[in-house]
Amino acid sequence: MSSSRQIYIGAYLVVDHHIEVNRNERECGNNPHHRCTSAHHSNKFCGECGCEIKLVKKTTKRRLTCYDAADLFGFDDDTFTNVHRGDKPCIWLATAESGIDEEGDGGQREITPEDIYDAVNQFKTNYQAEMQLLEDNNVEYSMLFGLVIHYT
């Protein structure tokens, strides 16, 4: 398995919002603190004590990703790319042009305040509907401009 380094320069969203997620977890009927993580999920009995395995519904909180938001609020799921940062708020990168042209000598380019202003305004225009959906659903976010290096 390989990874690829991605470099993004432009406007992006930092989303600090949690959602509750329901999931089923397999637990031993004898010891509810013991999660049955057997490779054979079709097993009906605990491999340690032999008691019947029960499916227990659990609710956990996790950070809202751009893919969750697409499902919940109805925008296209490839509008943004999500960058996970552990316990820190998620970064949502634009999948369309960020507004900075890659011109210049040898791949180098000076970014001026006018470039930043234009890129931020282009981002606001391109993603106005999605940002309005976030606001309508009380999702906390901020829009920033900068360099994001991440791995895919």
Please compute the mean of the pLDDT values over residues 20-37 and round it to a whole number: 73
Band of the pLDDT at 124, cuts 50, 70, 90? Answer: very high
Please give the angle made by the CA atoms of 10, 127 and 108, to the nearest 5 degrees.
15
More confident residue, 102 or 64: 64
Name the residue range of residue 84's domain.
5-17+64-151
Contact by Cβ (8 Å): 30, 57: no
Tokens of 43: 């097993």
Contact by Cβ (8 Å): 127, 79: yes
Query: How many whole angstroms separate alpha carbon 97 and alpha carbon 55?
Result: 45
Same domain? 122 vs 144? yes
CATH of the domain at 105: 3.30.70
Same domain? 95 vs 127? yes
Tens of pLDDT, residue by residue over 79-89, are: 898 998 888 89
Same domain? 54 vs 68? no
The CA-atom distances, in angstroms, between 68 and each of 30, 58, 96 are: 35, 18, 19
Question: What total of structural domains would you count in the chain?
Answer: 2
89: nearest Cα among 152, 139, 145: 139
Phi, psi of 113 (to 5 degrees): -60, -30
Question: In the predicted model, is pLDDT for residue 39 greater than 50?
Answer: no
Band of the pLDDT at 107, cuts 50, 70, 90? Answer: low
Q: What is the pTM of this model?
A: 0.73
Question: In the predicted model, is pLDDT for residue 41 greater than 80?
Answer: no
Same domain? 11 vs 30? no
Please compute the mean of the pLDDT values over residues 139-149 and round it to a whole number: 92
